[in-house]
Structure 1
Amino acid sequence: MRNRRGTHRSSQWARRSDGRVLILKLGVFAMMLAFVAVNRFHLTPRLAIGCSKGAQSKSLGQFARNSAIETVLVVYHGDFDSLWTA
């Protein structure tokens, strides 16, 4: 659907700050899902199997790092609204 200026309404929302925040939040959410998937389907099974001592400590370190990154992303994901309205 076109507006008075002849541009599509669907292309206008991405230019507004609300649209940019939405795109940013969706990107951060996708990154959170990626870290959750790695933890759930790759690192957790490796820890459960009980690999060799070195491999298990490496997996545990990666799991802790990914969990910390997830936490930071969750905090920033909730803070995006306050960043753009301030």
Structure 2
Amino acid sequence: MITEAKLNVYKDYRGDGDFWARIGLKRDKAIMEDGDFYLIDSLLQDIELVKRGLVSEKFAETVDKKLLANCDNAETIVLLKSMARKE
């Protein structure tokens, strides 16, 4: 489950899961798992595709469902969406 705390760790390591794995602090590793980095990466990529208008309406709906299923609350979804690039 993606939480605001996990997104903060993700941002602290600039989304670099290898960097986190190599030199991550114990407290950060207590919050995140490898799978969390991959999930956040995947969700950000999907959100970026939706923001750019490069996907079908059905795919956009699937992304919304994935966000609801994988984020702990609406605030986390908003934060995740704000992290996605539009360019």
Return the TM-score normalized by structure 1.
0.35
Structure with the larger RCO, 1 or 2 (CA within 8 Å, 6+ apart): 2
Greater share of helix residues, 1 or 2?
A: 1
Return the TM-score normalized by structure 2.
0.35
Higher Cα radius of gyration: 1
